[in-house]
Structure 1
Amino acid sequence: MIHFVLLVSRQGKVRLAKWYSPYTLNERSKVIRELSGIILNRGPKLCNFVEWRGFRAVYRRYAGLYFCMCVDEKDNELEVLDIIHHYVEILDRYFGSVCELDLIFNFHKAYYILDEILIAGELQESSKRSVIRLVCTHDSLVETAKEQASSLSSVIAQVTK
């Protein structure tokens, strides 16, 4: 089971944090501080697995971001690396070569995509096409709702004149 997912920039700023196990706010900030410190200080040629507090942190660096997932010690690290890569590939397809700014300004999309892939810390959807199709369908529904809301507000404005 995945306990949490963190996306951390090279400067140590958290760009995304999704928690699947209960942690208080103080514990979360301590976890982020500890784990990001460990991961950011590791050399690029070292292994992408870190033993930490009886768990195993699996991370991978893509451009300026570290994608990190914390799992139980008995879980398969290579599967977790594959889930990280799967998430990055979907982000790349959706944003067209995703960068840190895409995640900063469209964080809600990054969370939505992650929610389509993982549920309660377990892999839900392994098909990239299905996830992209669902996200695009969601986007079109949001656009339709915005158009209807703007047309409705213009009708209300005309009536109240």
Structure 2
Amino acid sequence: MVNFFLLINKQGQTRFSRYYTKNLMKAEERVSMEAEIARKCLKRSDNQCSIFDYNQYKLAYRRYASLFFIIGFDDKENHFSILELVQAFVEILNTYFENVCELDIMYNIEKIHIILEEMIVNGCIVETNKNHVLSLIMDMNNKT
């Protein structure tokens, strides 16, 4: 199960977060956890594995330009499928925004949520087909 999805910039600032667990973590605890995760990801070198343990979670991350895409998940998920989920998400964002950047995320946060909700529902990965997700999003844009 996917527990959370974070987008963090190179300065360690959270630009997007989505939590899927019913864990009653207070906002202050989430902020502190996100900051600690950001520090851990930022200090890892390119030679280190992009999947590692953090408290009760496994973390998988990928860096694209100035953004870190981080997923917290449990042991039951396939590690490589999580990395593929990140890749698919980035490809969808790149296609939708024509080379996504940090500003696209900040100014279109609702679209980021919608795209991610097409891919992950209640912590379960339901769709990774780029064309299918994009067609749904484009259809929604055409109706508004």
Normalised by the size of structure 1, how large is the TM-score? 0.84
Question: Residue 154 of structure 1 corresponds to which residue in structure 2?
Answer: none
How much has 1:138 moved relative to structure 2?
A: 1.1
Question: Residue 87 of structure 2 corresponds to which residue in structure 1?
Answer: 85
Question: Residue 133 of structure 2 corresponds to which residue in structure 1?
Answer: 131
How much has 1:29 moved relative to structure 2?
A: 1.1
Aligned mates of 2:126, 2:138 — CA distance in 1: 18
Aligned mates of 2:39, 2:76 — CA distance in 1: 24
Aligned mates of 1:111, 1:74 — CA distance in 2: 24
For 2:35, give the aligned amino acid: R
Question: Residue 2 of structure 1 corresponds to which residue in structure 2?
Answer: 2
Percentage of identical aligned residues: 32
Q: Please say which structure displays the higher CA radius of gyration.
A: 1
After TM superposition, list the pairs within 5 Å mapping 1:12-51 onto structure 2.
12-21=12-21, 22=23, 23-51=25-53
Alpha-carbon displacement from aligned partner over 1:101-155 (angstroms, at most 9, x marks no partner): 111111111111001111011111122111111111111122xxxxxxxxxxxxx
Alpha-carbon displacement from aligned partner over 1:23-53 (angstroms, at most 9, x marks no partner): 2212211210111111111112211012110
Aligned mates of 2:13, 2:129 — CA distance in 1: 30
Aligned mates of 1:79, 1:139 — CA distance in 2: 29
For 1:123, give the aligned amino acid: I
Contact 1:5/1:70 (<8 A) preserved: yes
Tell me how many residue pairs correspond in the alignment.
142
Contact 2:93/2:100 (<8 A) preserved: yes
Higher share of residues assigned helix: 1
Structure 2 residue 106 is matched with structure 1 residue 104: yes
For 2:6, give the aligned amino acid: L
How much has 1:97 moved relative to structure 2?
A: 1.2
Normalised by the size of structure 2, how large is the TM-score? 0.94
After TM superposition, list the pairs within 5 Å mapping 1:59-74 onto structure 2.
59-74=61-76
Q: Which stretches of structure 1, 4 residues or longer, exceed 2 Å deviation after superposition?
A: none
Any stretches of 5+ residues in structure 2 without a counterpart? none
For 1:2, give the aligned amino acid: V
For 2:102, give the aligned amino acid: E
Structure with bigger RCO (C-alpha 8 Å, 6+ apart): 2
